[in-house]
Amino acid sequence: MFNWKIYRGLVCVIILSLALTGCFEGIDMKDDSVITIAMIPKIIDIPYFDTCADGATKVASKYGYELIYTGPTTADAASQVNIIQEMIYKKVDVIAIAPVDPEAVKPILMQAREAGIIVVTYDADASKDSRDVFVSQVSAENLGRHIMDNVANLIGEEGAFAIITASMTADNQNTWINWIEQQNEDVYPLIELLTVIPTDEDQQKAYANTRNLINAYPELDAILAMSTEAGPAAAKAIEAMGETENVQLYCLSMPNAMRNYVKNGSADLVTLWDPHRLGSLTMEIIHALIEEQILADGSDYADFENIQYDEVDKIIIMGEPLDFDFSNIDDYDF
């Protein structure tokens, strides 16, 4: 039996307590002496971001900061916004975020900055006025042109290649692809980019489309797999088809995932950067900002020497992209 009286009584109690706690909102429960940093990746559970977080955690504990690592379970911009909101209410001191969508997080990040929170973006950028600094692993232009140069190295000055990417809405990849096309146009007019196919982080689609591409275009010399999930799947497809000699595979993936394929020849080149370092550097930059250090081009931050800094756009650039192939892939563990 539903007892309205008890129900009403409980509701009153709740409203009263809410009112009371509202009055005492000034008394802060949070321990102000510890600096809290919220680290929000695009999506949790991806080895890339988890490794970033490992790097960040080490540096955070070195300085005695408290690190909160949380993120959306699917790369959904709305979830990220909600998480940021939560962090603002939690009154964290710093937010480090890899935004899924730079536009979606702009209003909320600006709100965070107004509340006095330091906002740093890493891996992917948000708009300039919504963050204090962007810690970038490489410059997008640099990366795009470098990748295109590598493609030319793999197939020669003349040939055809195709790109497999994550999804049509992936900002990062789209920017890099633009620079790849730019370099293609500028320096290698005889190389043709046949097509760009999305795979939505689905291994099976990457596998199927690699096979499709190789069958559809016999003139295909190389495939560029730009999403971390697509690399291993594409390599597997090439291996299964026995095309390791004919088609060059170039991936943007983690070396650990690609090692076996590079060793057996189905993948020829891998480019990435060390996410561990990216996480550490992000934390070092945050430390510098907390200590109210002025960032300058060429400064050193703990173990990181001579780090590039673009003062106009406020971008820290960690370094150059790393290339892994048969000769050096064993030297890296991430």
Q: Which of residues 260-289 bind another protein (CB under 8 A)?
A: 260
Distance CA 10, CA 13 (A): 5
Distance CA 26, CA 44 (A): 34
The answer to whether 103 contacts another protein (rule: CB under 8 A) is yes
Q: Residues binding another protein: what is the number (CB under 8 A)?
A: 73
Q: Which stretch binds another protein (CB under 8 A): 168-176, 183-191, 289-297, 306-314?
A: 168-176
CB of 7 to another protein, least distance (A): 7
- Residue 248 pairs in a beta bridge with 222
The answer to whether 181 contacts another protein (rule: CB under 8 A) is no
The answer to whether 17 contacts another protein (rule: CB under 8 A) is yes
Q: Which stretch binds another protein (CB under 8 A): 115-123, 153-161, 234-242, 277-285?
A: 234-242
Radius of gyration of the chain (CA): 23
Q: How many CB atoms lie within 10 A of CB 323?
A: 16
CB of 284 to another protein, least distance (A): 26
Q: Which of 14, 34, 187, 190 binds another protein (CB under 8 A)?
A: 14
The answer to whether 208 contacts another protein (rule: CB under 8 A) is yes
Residue number, 58 or 211, with CB nearest to another protein: 211
Amino acid letter at 5?
K
Q: Which of 202, 310, 320, 325 binds another protein (CB under 8 A)?
A: 202
Distance CA 49, CA 287 (A): 20
Q: Hey, which residues between 32 and 61 contact another protein (CB under 8 A)? A: 44-45, 47, 50
CB of 212 to another protein, least distance (A): 4
Helix axes 203-216, 230-241, angle to 10 degrees: 50
Residue number, 112 or 316, with CB nearest to another protein: 112
- Tokens 């596998």, located at residue: 207
The answer to whether 296 contacts another protein (rule: CB under 8 A) is no
Q: Which of 34, 107, 297, 313 binds another protein (CB under 8 A)?
A: 107
CB of 18 to another protein, least distance (A): 7
* Cα→Cα distances 92→76, 121, 172, 226, Å: 22, 15, 27, 34
Residue number, 39 or 317, with CB nearest to another protein: 39
CB of 44 to another protein, least distance (A): 6
Residue number, 76 or 310, with CB nearest to another protein: 76
The answer to whether 142 contacts another protein (rule: CB under 8 A) is no
Q: Which of 26, 64, 218, 298 binds another protein (CB under 8 A)?
A: 218
Q: Which of 82, 178, 293, 328 binds another protein (CB under 8 A)?
A: 82
CB of 247 to another protein, least distance (A): 14
Q: Which of 57, 167, 175, 182 binds another protein (CB under 8 A)?
A: 167
Q: Which of 42, 106, 131, 145 binds another protein (CB under 8 A)?
A: 106
The answer to whether 140 contacts another protein (rule: CB under 8 A) is no
The 3-class SS string of 30-56 reads CCCCCCEEEEECCCCCCHHHHHHHHHH
Q: What are phi and psi of 317, to 5 degrees?
A: -115, 120
Q: Which of 217, 304, 309, 332 binds another protein (CB under 8 A)?
A: 217
